[in-house]
Structure 1
Amino acid sequence: MAEVIGSALTAKAAGAGARAIAERLGRPVETVRGWLRRFASRAEEIRQFFTVLLVDAGIDPAVPGPARTLFADAVNAVVGAWWSVTSRWPHVGTVSPWAVACAASGGILLAPAWPLETINTSRL
């Protein structure tokens, strides 16, 4: 499922509309719109989260330049994080950027409660 949703997000970042994406993926348009809206509503948080992962995981990370939309910036950060992860752990390269995004987000990237608030228990 991560691959299907990732394909929809990538198509939207490239400028496609929900109806065309839904038709291409064979999914209901309202389902696709839901994915796109949820991702768009937290695009900045997603961009930040995956940019940090990109920098932290990369051997020699290259942060993507700005895209034409925040949505596309967030998608680029996900793909950039995948690139960094695969540079450090080459066997990860056998999975897609969206499988890495799923793992990095605990499988809840588009869930209502993501991103989860973290608590630093090592500090008072």
Structure 2
Amino acid sequence: MFALFRRADLAEVIGSALAAKAAGAGARVIAGRLGRPVETVRGWLRRFASRAEGIRRFFTVLLVDAGVDPAVPGPSRTLFADAVNAVVGAWWSVASRWPNVGKVSPWAVACAASGGILLAPSWPLETINTNRL
């Protein structure tokens, strides 16, 4: 899966915008770099920010469950950056177990893990159980 539900851009394009925001860039700068409308980029950033805690939890659980020797990322300066780091960390853990996964971007893995609905209104589910047995 390489595209998110109801999004015209590939997961890598949206993911690069999310990573740039986590690094401190603003919507206008990101939109300029990507050649996308500011409102489109702002929409991606707002949707991700509105569910950053759920995304962080979901991908941290994936990181721990899939990793051979998982290393959970430490806290960042923002919850948004924590969520982006969890996505990248989950990709790293999945790729450590299944090396061919490392040939795709972290955002393609995030797209697949979320069923393509990473930025859809119905995800992440509020009932995600983050407790380990």
Q: TM-score interval w.r.t. the shorter chain?
A: over 0.9
User: How many correspondences in the alignment?
Assistant: 120
Shift of 1:115: 1.3
Is 1:74 the counterpart of 2:87? The answer is: no
* Structure 1 consecutive aligned stretches of length 4 or more whose deviation exceeds 2 Å: 116-119
Conserved 8 A contact 2:54-2:126? no
Is 1:34 the counterpart of 2:43? The answer is: yes
Shift of 1:116: 3.3
Question: Residues 106-121 of structure 1: matches in 2 within 5 Å?
Answer: 106-116=115-125
Q: Which has the higher contact order (CA 8 A, sep 6+)?
A: 2
The amino acid across from 2:106 in the alignment is: P
Paired with 1:73 and 1:118, the residues of 2 have a C-alpha distance of 20
Counterpart of 1:25 in structure 2 is 34
**Structure 2, unpaired ranges of 5+:** 1-9, 129-133
Shift of 1:89: 0.1
**1:85 aligned to which of 88, 94, 107:** 94
Is 1:45 the counterpart of 2:51? The answer is: no
Q: TM-score, normalised by structure 1?
A: 0.94
Cα RMSD (Å) of the superposition?
1.4
Q: Does the C-alpha gap of structure 1 residues 103 and 28 become closer, same or farther in structure 2, counting only changes over 3 Å?
A: same
Q: SS state of the match for residue 77, structure 2? A: coil
Paired with 2:125 and 2:103, the residues of 1 have a C-alpha distance of 27
Q: SS state of the match for residue 116, structure 1? A: coil
Which structure has more helix as a fraction of its residues? 1
